[in-house]
Amino acid sequence: MASYETVLKGKYPAKQHARRVAEYLRKKNPHATGVLYLEAQKTKLIEDNDSDMLFRQRRYFYYLTGCPLADSYFTYDIATSKSTLFIPPIDAESVIWSGLPQSVDKALSLYDVDAVRTTDEVASALAHPHEGPVWAIANQVSDHISFLSFSATDFTLLKEAIEECRVVKDDYEVALIRKANAVSALAHTEVLKRVKHAKNERELEAAFIGTCIANGVREQAYHSIVASGEAAATLHYVKNDEPLEGKLNLLLDAGGEYNCYAADITRTFPISGTFSPESRAIYDTVLEMQHVCTNMLKAGAIWDTIHLKAHEIAIEGLLKLGILKGSPEDILKSRTSVAFLPHGLGHYLGMDTHDTGGHANYADKDTIFRYLRVRGKVPAGAVITVEPGIYFCRFIIEPYLKDPAHAQYINSEVLEKYWAVGGVRIEDNILVTDTGYENLTAAVKDVEEMGKIINGA
Ligand code: GLY
Ligand code: MN
Ligand code: MN
């Protein structure tokens, strides 16, 4: 049995999360007392229809409960550390269609909370006189809930506290990400096996999702990107419906989600099993970017510096190929490499694919940092994606060719040979440690290994 399976036999550490969140509040406000209050996501019907919308648990609620049930509530008393989960009671009408709901006893055995009650008791539980304030999240409080019995309400700090605490993962959360990664790696391999004989991107998307579900990972962390040929230059391409004939490469960015925790993996490979010389050159450059950048990771490393390193290696590689010309220092200073690598090197990964706490600055005037989703120091325990890429997107690059400040560094004749490469991205999920890192992604990325699987060798 994989070691993460042993960890996952325990309970999701909800109490530990509640304590950490309360500690964060106390750091901001040493006298913080009172009650943390959270609501699960509601079940909702599709507009003009009597079927449920796809349910996705609210992450703030899950972090403090580990409970996937819709329409539930949660309180945590800071002074006594007592947590209470309120789950839906039996509703005879819905039992006809959906069967019996989870019982209070079952919930108590499954979730790391001190007490479980039913949701018809939430309002009265909150109506008891309370000493301190209630901490809740704006726009995430039901109309029938009143906080009149509390001395005050705070609608800002709880959200911030959970978002900041989520950055550092405990062993259980890492185990969930490991499982999402292990199954997603199987699904990536399945796509490699099929790509040579598939006719359309959609067959590969089906193979990926089918393999995830068959292996116990029912949800996808995000819409798969199954991009052949020049479509690979569209960063979040989701059409996944184009024929593969005549295309060189496939970029597959796809990851399953297990118990609310995500994998986010990208691989780029030749549809025929063998890269063209241009594709191979770009692939090797991106692999080098990923290798060097990952090796720079350890607790306290500055993500902005690592991102700049990715650009430096991209510039070096593109200079060697003759796509860029001039001095590497001048090219970096002019930010011309942003034409080929317009996104950030990576982001935190957890319950959200683009997880919380990264402090991006999308208004940054410096284009090289604008889409960097993590800024500053990376702590031990964070899981971060390292996903360098080089793309040949006409819409992005053509304006650079028209701007003399950038055009002086780009050889458009050489560039002509590279449009068909589309784009190459390689993305792994990395656990940051005190002394370095651990790569949680085992999907194949070695060129020879990928070729063997594609060719069925
Ligand atoms: N799959 C989305 C991303 O890599 O950020
Ligand atoms: Mn990513
Ligand atoms: Mn991705």
Q: Which CATH class is domain 4-165?
A: alpha beta
If one looks up domain 171-454 in CATH, what number appears? 3.90.230.10
Environment class of 51 (CB within 10 Å of its CB; exposed 0-12, middle 13-18, buried 19+): exposed
Summary count for the chain: helices (H), strands (E): 16, 17
Looking at residue 378, what is its pLDDT?
98
One pLDDT digit (tens) per residue for the chain, 457 residues: 889 999 999 999 999 999 999 999 999 998 899 999 999 999 999 999 999 999 999 999 999 999 999 999 999 999 999 999 999 999 999 999 999 999 999 999 999 999 999 999 999 999 998 889 999 999 999 999 999 999 999 999 999 999 999 999 999 999 999 999 999 999 999 999 999 999 999 999 999 999 999 999 999 999 999 999 999 999 999 999 999 999 999 999 999 999 999 999 999 999 999 999 999 999 999 999 999 999 999 999 999 999 999 999 999 999 999 999 999 999 999 999 999 999 999 999 999 999 999 999 999 999 999 999 999 999 999 999 999 999 999 999 999 999 999 999 999 999 999 999 999 999 999 999 999 999 999 999 999 999 999 999 8
pLDDT confidence of residue 344:
98
Residue 46 burial (C-beta neighbours within 10 Å; 0-12, 13-18, 19+)? exposed
The total number of residues written for the chain in this structure: 457
State how far the Cα of 311 lies from the Cα of 354, in Å rounded to an integer: 21
Neighbours of ion ligand 3 (CB under 5 A): 253, 264, 266, 427
The reported pLDDT for the residue numbered 384 is: 99
Please name the residue whose Cα sits nearest to atom 3 of ligand 1. Answer: 264
Q: What is the pLDDT of residue 129?
A: 87
Where do the structural domains in the chain lie, given as residue ranges?
4-165, 171-454
Taking the centre of ligand 2 as the mean of its atom positions, its distance from the CA of residue 353, in whole angstroms, is 7
Residues within 6 Å of ligand 1 by CB? 222, 253, 264, 353, 387, 427
Ligand 3 centre from 97 Cα, in Å? 37
Q: At what angle do helices 447-454 and 171-195 cross, to 10 degrees?
A: 60
Q: Are strands 35-39 and 134-135 parallel, antiparallel or unpaired?
A: parallel
Structural contact between residues 198 and 204, judged by C-beta atoms closer than 8 angstroms: yes
**Ligand with an atom nearest the CA of residue 385:** 2
pTM as predicted: 0.98
